[in-house]
A and B are shown apart, each in its own frame.
Chain A
């Protein structure tokens, strides 16, 4: 039965409204095509300004240079923290780099 204030021992069904907000899903996009090899490529090493990422990138840069001749790991492309993102920097990476690594330091 639907609850209507009847006896406390009768089965009760509560019909309630959904509290969640409707979401219009954004268009889902595909990823960019991968590169076949890292040798000779320029790779942007980016992060969100959190501690420790620069240490990680020191090691990654070493490893990339060891494994891939002619590779250019580039740490000068920083877009800032999540509250200070810079679209111009993304455009610069797209124009000048072949791939990117983005470390979320949180």
Chain B
């Protein structure tokens, strides 16, 4: 698009699985009419490996490529109509009874690409107002824009999605802060990439305990309402505020890990020998925060166990060494998660603060200390893990405006 804007005519070559994504992106970046030539997906991915294998595909596409560069523009291409902002009015759904109406709502929301495949709680005005009671912030406040299409995230829109997710109003300030973090970082690639990245959403500070977040055994799993519905609210809000849908402009080929609730948990501050993660960033201990990071996928550098558990033996040094061996990407950040026993052991070895651990990794790997984020996660026993994350998509925000909890006010 940039080159067309600069007056150079061009053509996009895309596989036949990507035109919807390409057209969507072209429209987002001002040029919906950009000319494209498609190459059949069933042949492109199989036969692009050698020049001779790909030759028939190039020959078949050749005339269309030339036409795209030389056929004069039609008026709609030269001066396309301007798009008006879409109306987003309330939605009315009628059923034979309440259960039927809820079922119809769920069907309608999915058909219109506004759900996640699990049952949704109807976001009635009453339910949304109840959610809004969890914050003192104005419903009209804009907290940012959400990729892929950069829809405007207001407090009320986040509340609508939080109701749909089944969250309690007490959780709402945490969800808002997570969306603020998401809007502030470079998360668009995570939302659309064929690699299927996912999110870590880590909560720190006293609000985590107050709303009963799991930070112990099973902390990345289900069965805790706060963990599950905070994550689901963020998932729904990113989809719906960002207008993102699988195989349209979310091209995660095998989906993404923990797709409905991401990885949402609290740091285990009680069992940590160190100051809480957010305090190491400069926040006060009584503050509560949310940290959101883009991390790897099923097919990439998903979190890897480096020691601990109920079966194998380990030492603190073996965990450090294994992490350092995996932390090879100089451009990446790394979450280094220590299970409580390992963290306590490291503390006994002289790692008095997280900064000491960061400094060890910097010396061992040659990478900058700030590339390593150190957290204490899980229970006893537990696993220590390492995840790579994108440094431009790793954001911490302070929770504020809470009205129903003592923390996060």
Q: Which residues of A contact B (CB under 8 A)?
A: 3, 7-38, 43-44, 51-53, 55-56, 58-60, 63, 67, 82-83, 87, 90-91, 93-94, 97-106
Q: Can you list 23 pairs linking A and B with CB atoms under 8 Å apart?
A: A7-B97, A11-B95, A12-B94, A16-B93, A17-B156, A19-B109, A19-B114, A20-B88, A20-B157, A23-B151, A28-B82, A34-B71, A34-B72, A52-B45, A55-B53, A59-B55, A59-B58, A67-B66, A94-B6, A97-B8, A99-B9, A100-B3, A102-B12
Which residues 23-56 of B have a CB within 8 angstroms of A?
27-35, 44-45, 48-51, 53-55
Output the least CB separation between B393 and chain A (Å): 10
Given A90-B6, A102-B11, check contact A52 B29 (CB 8 Å).
Answer: no
Stretch from B100-108, B371-379, B400-408 at the A interface: B100-108
Q: Which residues of B contact A (CB under 8 A)?
A: 2-15, 18, 22, 27-35, 44-45, 48-51, 53-55, 57-59, 62, 65-66, 69-73, 77-86, 88-102, 105, 109, 114, 122-125, 128, 145-146, 149-153, 156-157, 160-161, 164, 186, 189, 193-194, 236-237, 240-243, 251
A3 to chain B: closest residue by CB: B98
Best-surrounded residue of A7, A9, A20, A24 (most CB of chain B within 10 A): A20
Identify which of B27, B71, B189, B241 contacts A82 (C-beta below 8 A).
B189
- Asked whether A20 lies within 8 Å of B240 as measured between CB atoms, the reply is yes
Tell me the bound Cα distance from A13 to B237 in angstroms. Answer: 24
The count of A-to-B residue pairs whose CB atoms sit within 8 angstroms is 252
Tell me the bound Cα distance from A43 to B57 in angstroms. Answer: 20
Tell me the bound Cα distance from A31 to B194 in angstroms. Answer: 28
Contacts of B71 in A (CB 8 A): 34
Contacts of B58 in A (CB 8 A): 56, 59-60, 63
Contacts of B54 in A (CB 8 A): 52, 55-56, 59
A19-B164, A63-B62, A103-B13 given; name 7 further pairs at CB < 8 Å: A19-B241, A20-B151, A22-B88, A34-B69, A52-B48, A101-B10, A104-B13
